[in-house]
């Protein structure tokens, strides 16, 4: 039962993050997940100062609010200041993270307060993080419910806005010519990303979310340039990684999130290498030609 819950949780996070990650890769904004993981710090500190507690709910609200603020700022700088997305991401999250550190030093220096101990969950704890009804009936792990709901929302979002998301990702100028508001869809996507990442951080920790946001979509991108196929490959890869990562952690008695992230990297590397070999075999070029 442990294996089932952890693999299910891993797969849910992998699919949810992966589907959104496909669009992020196409927009050259993959590192936005990493940015959010740092940018939530001031939100956590402010939520603690306002509520006086380190319970999950206020932390989640604070983190969610600053996550949204961070994605909003990134988009805003990118659009209005005509800044490259990577620069916009870098400027925004370092600024917000530093504000968080200063807030801790000034107001809460004696309290153990950082993302690691108040927000980031751990996928190993999923099977014991149970949702227990008043009558003592156990309904299974709480994160599975939250993540299932997130996955439903994300699938619905992509289904409803598929055409708009696709057009604004590939050809913003053409999208505006058709009367689609690129700004609106950018902000909607970013809102979905920050909600998904913050709620996933709370369930499984940061590194796994960042790995799933980038790894499977990047691997899928090597295999196909058709967006629908890319989304499907990402989902299937996510499930495979959750399986393989869990059993690797089981055999090595190691960190589950760490093993899943490693498998993600191995998947990417093996597809990349296999593709290079296949390419070389299919076009047996002369040595001189290969260089050109």
Q: Which residues within the stretch 50-79 sit at the binding site for another protein (CB under 8 A)?
A: 52-56
Nearer to another protein, 52 or 284 (CB): 52
CA distances from 20 to 77, 94, 155, 157 (A): 21, 23, 9, 10
Shortest CB 271 distance to another protein, Å: 10
Subset of 168-187 contacting another protein (CB under 8 A)? none
Shortest distance in whole angstroms from residue 122 CB to another protein = 6
* Strands annotated E in the chain: 130-132, 138-141
Cβ neighbors of 193 (< 8 A, separation 6 or more) are 20, 24, 32, 33, 36, 71
Q: To the nearest whole angstrom, how small is the minimum distance from the Cβ of residue 88 to another protein? A: 24
Interaction of residue 125 with another protein, rule CB under 8 A = yes
Partners of residue 132 on adjacent β-strands: 138
Q: Is residue 137 a contact point for another protein (CB under 8 A)?
A: yes
- Whether residue 75 contacts residue 52, with contact meaning beta carbons closer than 8 Å, is answered with no
28, 79, 225, 276: which one binds another protein (CB under 8 A): 225
Return the range that interacts with another protein (CB under 8 A); candidates 26-34, 64-72, 188-196, 244-252: 244-252
Asked if 138 touches another protein (CB under 8 A), the answer is yes
Of 116 and 171, the one with the shorter C-beta distance to another protein is 116
Compute the distance between CA of residue 262 and CA of residue 241 in angstroms, rounded to an integer. 9
C-alpha span between 182 and 171 (Å, rounded):
10
Indicate the residue among 28 and 225 with the shorter CB distance to another protein: 225
Rounded least distance, CB 53 to another protein, Å? 6
Phi/psi for 131 (5° steps) reads -100, 110
CB of 132 to another protein, least distance (A): 4
Element (H, E) at 56: helix 56-80
Contact 190, 182 (CB under 8 A): no
Contacts of 204 (CB under 8 A, 6+ apart): 9, 10, 13, 121, 122, 123, 126, 143, 257
Q: What minimum distance in Å lies between the beta carbon of 15 and another protein?
A: 7
Q: Are 12 and 148 in contact (CB under 8 A)?
A: yes
Q: Which of residues 90-119 bind another protein (CB under 8 A)?
A: 100-101, 104-105, 108-114, 116-119
Give strand pairing partners of 141: 130
Nearer to another protein, 100 or 215 (CB): 100
Q: Using CB under 8 A, count the residues that bind another protein.
A: 70
- Main-chain phi, psi angles of 118, to 5 degrees: -120, -20
- By the criterion CB under 8 A, which residues form the site for another protein? 1-2, 4-5, 8, 11-12, 15, 41, 52-56, 100-101, 104-105, 108-114, 116-122, 124-125, 127-130, 132, 136-140, 144, 148, 151, 155, 223-226, 228-229, 231-233, 235-236, 239, 249-250, 252-256, 275, 278-279
């Amino acid at each position: 039962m442990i294996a089932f819950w952890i693999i299910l949780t891993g797969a849910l996070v992998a699919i949810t993050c992966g589907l959104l990650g496909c669009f992020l890769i196409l927009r050259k904004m993959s590192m936005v997940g990493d940015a959010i993981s740092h940018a939530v710090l001031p939100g956590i500190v402010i939520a603690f100062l306002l509520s006086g507690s380190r319970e999950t709910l206020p932390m989640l609200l604070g983190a969610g609010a600053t996550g949204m603020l961070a994605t909003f700022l990134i988009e805003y700088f990118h659009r209005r200041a005509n800044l490259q997305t990577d620069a916009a991401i870098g400027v925004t999250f370092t600024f917000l993270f530093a504000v968080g550190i200063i807030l801790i030093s000034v107001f809460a220096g004696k309290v153990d307060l950082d993302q690691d101990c108040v927000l980031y969950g751990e996928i190993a704890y999923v099977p014991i993080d149970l949702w227990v009804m008043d009558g003592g009936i156990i309904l299974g792990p709480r994160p599975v419910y939250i993540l299932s709901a997130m996955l439903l929302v994300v699938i619905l979002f992509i289904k409803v806005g598929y055409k708009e998301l696709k057009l604004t990702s590939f050809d913003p100028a053409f999208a505006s010519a058709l009367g689609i508001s690129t700004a609106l869809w950018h902000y909607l996507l970013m809102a979905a990303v920050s909600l998904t990442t913050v709620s996933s951080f709370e369930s499984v920790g940061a590194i796994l979310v960042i790995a799933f946001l980038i790894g499977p979509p990047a691997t899928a991108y090597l295999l196909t340039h058709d967006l629908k196929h890319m989304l499907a490959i990402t989902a299937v890869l996510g499930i495979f990684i959750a399986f393989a990562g869990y059993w690797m952690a089981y055999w090595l008695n190691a960190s589950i999130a760490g093993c899943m992230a490693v498998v993600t990297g191995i998947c990417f590397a093996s597809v990349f290498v296999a593709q290079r070999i296949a390419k070389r075999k299919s076009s047996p070029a002369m040595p001189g030609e290969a260089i050109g």
